[in-house]
Amino acid sequence: MNVVVLLGAPGAGKGTQAPLLAARLGIPVVATGDIFRAAVRDGTPLGMEARRYMDAGQLVPDEITVKLLLDRLARPDAAAGVILDGFPRTGVQAQALDKALAERGQAVSAAVLVDVPADELERRMSGRWICRASGHPYHETFSPPKSAGVCDLDGSDLYQRADDRPETIRARLDQQLGALTEVIDHYRASGVIASVDGLQGIDAVGAAIDVALSEHGVAPLAGQVS
Ligand code: ADP
Ligand code: ADP
């Protein structure tokens, strides 16, 4: 079972790379941000709770997030492996994931940091549009859809996230980068961290992720080499 963690600051390109990598590896993406946004859209109690934090640019508390993630990992489609986008985001979350995997005799295979400097992150988030159906990300300048306002992949309409406003972008960077450092340190200590230059174009970042993963023994399933 391959458990791949995609790490990066808000706006680094995790959500862009995750579905591409999922297609290459043949395993699903679990993105906690997408799950929280779906809950907000559906007006569930989880969504109402999570929204308070998301709108303020803060992390949703560990207790809520860990439970959500572990429930998702227990579903059958995650049995062959999973790509985690946006989880873990704190040291506590990283430890909880390790513990849950260890109970099944498993461990994180690789944690790939998509490394992008802060000024570029602001540019990326402020031009980001995502699709209503699945959260596929686009950028008005760097990665526009083929047809304006419509997702290339599923045809749903594109919108700008409520937390991609300039003041919330700054709050997210201020409040979340410290915790990202904790998570990087956690995976450095367990020897599974790899770093790729996220300033390259989308295809080059994907190729660098593949190289980093193969160095950690994660390879595409037979027949799915891109
Ligand atoms: P994250 O999931 O890490 O927050 P996204 O994948 O949503 O990041 O990317 C943030 C924004 O940057 C999106 O608008 C996306 O289209 C754009 N983007 C992603 N990767 C690149 C890249 N390599 N070069 C330029 N823009 C990118
Ligand atoms: P991005 O990587 O672009 O910041 P995400 O879509 O991954 O965005 O997350 C959006 C928001 O959802 C975060 O700012 C945070 O409030 C919440 N969130 C997502 N994942 C987590 C997590 N693992 N722990 C706590 N909060 C999370």
Q: What is the pLDDT of residues 146-185, one digit of tens each?
A: 999 999 999 999 999 999 999 999 999 999 999 999 999 9
Mean pLDDT, range 21-31, rounded to an integer: 96
Q: What are phi and psi of 151, to 5 degrees?
A: -70, 130
Of 72, 60, 26, 55, the C-alpha closest to 167 is 55
For 14, half-sphere exposure in the C-beta direction (CA atoms, 13 angstrom radius) is 28
Q: Is the pLDDT of residue 17 over 80?
A: yes
Position in ligand 1 atom list of the atom nearest CA 198: 23
93, pLDDT greater than 50: yes
Ligand located closest to 124 CA: 1
Residue of 124, 146, 159, 180 to mutate, ligand 1, most atoms within 8 A of C-beta: 124
Q: pLDDT value at position 1?
A: 86
Active site residues: 14, 89, 128, 161, 172
Q: Which of 175, 17, 10, 176 is nearest to 83 (CA)?
A: 17
* Ordered alpha helix ranges (H), 26-140: 32-42, 45-55, 62-73, 91-103, 118-126
Tokens 């003041």 sit at which residue? 167
Instruction: State the average pLDDT over residues 9-23.
Output: 97
pLDDT for the residue 57: 95
CA 16 to ligand 1 centroid distance, Å: 6
Q: How far is the CA of 125 from the centre of ligand 1 (A)?
A: 7
Structure tokens at 69: 């993630």
Span of 72-76, 136-140, 155-159, 220-224 with lowest mean pLDDT: 220-224
pLDDT, residue 225, reads: 45
Task: Report whether pLDDT(139) > 60.
Answer: yes
For 100-136, the pLDDT digits (tens) are 999 999 999 999 999 999 989 999 999 999 999 999 9
